[in-house]
């Protein structure tokens, strides 16, 4: 489908049966119910995890943590990768390390998983929501520029929100469903206003923008290895950066700020116990050996969805942005605007048919704890929420053929 959603010229009845049949064609070989996204673990993962158990190296020390970090760094091109207990903790630590302080504001898209906003709150800061663009499903650099012109002012201490009086410190672009944000345009706006960029690349391992891996554009970035991500460590995350000093501080800060010593327990600041256990890292090492194959399988699955829904008049599958190579973490069906009211009826029918589809996350500005946060106008975010449905996207759906 085109990136600018089609508005039909006439009102035709929504063909629910045709959508269900199209999904059934793609998922013909899948056992029902079909999960939205689930991992696949094999003999290699079992071998490495059993090695941790057999050698008793199951906690935050052990050879697999460093090996996992090296594998992720090599796959993304980042100079440094620091393994963290989960993606939320990774973003929380990254924001603090970037100088985000209590009562600062951090800009992020209104549509994202709640962990993005929660990490900002954990840092004592305030989420500041800006609209998205249909071009990428992510943060809209043009909307951000227009909004900051309206609400911000530069002072000696940085960029401030004229309406709240708070400093605006950072911007967190999120590569929604694995589709990269227009990072060239976003970085230009961030530089213009003096904002640090922390990429939320939790959904986009294996995705690239203009040939460069997601997670390597900002000063720092975070990944997630939750059970539903493209590779999993059960629970886990990663901080990426090219800044050696920042990486050294990140390792120290997320390991209780303990000073290196053969036996003494000395700590030089309030740190966090956020490091990834070796047994989880072992699982990740096995998964990383198959990363390329899983990305290709997910792209094949996306191709099937795109082919089957080609020519539909009332809905279509979202296609990766121009200039991007997406991992298609979650395939997204977009209803034409006049059929937005059919979203929940379609979801009910899919679930009744054993297909665990879901709507987008509730926009952050509609959640009770974030309802009063600063924000731009958000027409695209609310339009996306009304019309988008995520369809089953596990990589083995493309490889398990009848």
3-state secondary structure of 158: strand
- What DSSP assignment string belongs to 284-339? HHHHHTTHHHHHHHHHHHHHHHHHHHTT-SSEEEPPPPTTEE---SSEEEEE-GGG
Return phi, psi of residue 283, to 5°.
-60, -45
pLDDT at 190: 98
pLDDT at 6: 45
pLDDT at 10: 47
Element (H, E) at 84: strand 80-84
Tell me if the domain spanning 16-40+291-399 has CATH number 3.30.70.20.
no
**Structural domain boundaries in the chain:** 16-40+291-399, 43-288
Under CATH, which architecture does the 43-288 domain have? 3-Layer(aba) Sandwich (3.40)
How far apart, in whole angstroms, are the C-alpha atoms of residue 113 and residue 202? 10
How far apart, in whole angstroms, are the C-alpha atoms of residue 199 and residue 172? 5
Return phi, psi of residue 296, to 5°.
-65, -40
Torsion angle of the four alpha carbons 199, 203, 205, 207, in this order, in degrees rounded to the nearest 10:
-90
Measured CA angle at 86 (ends 81, 90), to 5 deg: 55
Measured CA angle at 26 (ends 23, 27), to 5 deg: 85
pLDDT at 60: 83
One digit per residue, the tens of pLDDT, for the chain of length 402 reads 445 444 444 457 899 999 999 999 999 999 999 999 999 999 999 999 999 999 998 988 899 999 999 999 999 999 999 999 999 999 999 999 999 999 999 999 999 999 999 999 999 999 999 999 999 999 999 999 999 999 999 999 999 999 999 999 999 999 999 999 999 999 999 999 999 999 999 999 999 999 999 999 999 999 999 999 999 999 999 999 999 999 999 999 999 999 988 889 999 999 999 999 999 999 999 999 999 999 999 999 999 999 999 999 899 999 999 999 999 999 999 999 999 999 999 999 999 999 999 999 999 999 999 999 999 999 999 999 999 999 999 999 988 754
pLDDT at 7: 41
Q: What percent of the chain has pLDDT over 70?
A: 97
pLDDT at 8: 43
């Amino acid at each position: 489908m085109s990136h600018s959603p089609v508005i039909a010229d006439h009102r035709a009845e929504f063909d629910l049966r045709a959508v269900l049949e199209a999904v059934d064609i793609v998922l013909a070989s899948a056992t029902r119910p079909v999960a939205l996204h689930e991992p696949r673990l094999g003999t290699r993962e079992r071998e490495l995890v059993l090695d941790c158990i057999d050698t008793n190296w199951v906690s935050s020390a052990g050879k697999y943590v460093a090996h996992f970090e090296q594998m992720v760094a090599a796959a993304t091109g980042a100079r440094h990768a620091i393994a963290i207990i989960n993606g939320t903790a990774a973003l929380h630590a990254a924001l603090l390390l970037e100088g985000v302080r209590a009562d600062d504001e951090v800009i992020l898209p209104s549509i994202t998983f709640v962990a993005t906003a929660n990490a900002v709150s954990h840092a004592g800061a305030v989420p500041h929501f800006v609209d998205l663009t249909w071009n990428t499903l992510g943060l809209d650099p043009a909307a951000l520029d227009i909004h900051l012109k309206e609400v911000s002012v530069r002072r000696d201490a940085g960029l401030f929100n004229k309406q709240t009086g708070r400093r605006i410190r950072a911007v967190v672009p999120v590569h929604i469903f694995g589709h990269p944000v227009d990072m060239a345009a976003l970085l230009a706006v961030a530089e213009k206003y003096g904002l640090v960029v922390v990429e939320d690349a939790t959904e986009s391992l294996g995705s690239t923008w203009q040939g460069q891996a997601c997670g390597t554009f900002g000063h720092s970035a975070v990944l997630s290895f939750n059970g539903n991500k493209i590779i999993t460590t059960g629970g886990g995350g990663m901080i990426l950066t090219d800044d050696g000093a920042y990486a050294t501080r990140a390792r120290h800060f997320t390991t209780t700020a303990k000073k290196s010593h053969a036996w003494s327990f000395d700590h030089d600041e309030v740190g966090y116990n956020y490091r990834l256990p070796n047994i989880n890292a072992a699982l990740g090492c096995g998964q990383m050996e198959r990363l390329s194959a899983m990305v290709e399988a997910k792209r094949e699955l996306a191709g099937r969805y795109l082919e089957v829904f080609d020519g539909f008049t009332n809905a279509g599958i979202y296609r990766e942005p121009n200039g991007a190579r997406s991992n298609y973490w979650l395939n997204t069906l977009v209803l034409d605007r006049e059929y937005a009211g059919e979203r929940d009826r379609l979801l009910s029918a899919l679930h009744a048919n054993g297909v665990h589809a879901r709507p987008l996350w509730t926009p952050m500005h509609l959640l009770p704890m974030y309802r009063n946060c600063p924000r731009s106008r958000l027409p695209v975010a609310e339009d996306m929420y009304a019309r988008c449905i995520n369809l089953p996207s596990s990589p083995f759906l493309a490889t398990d053929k009848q």
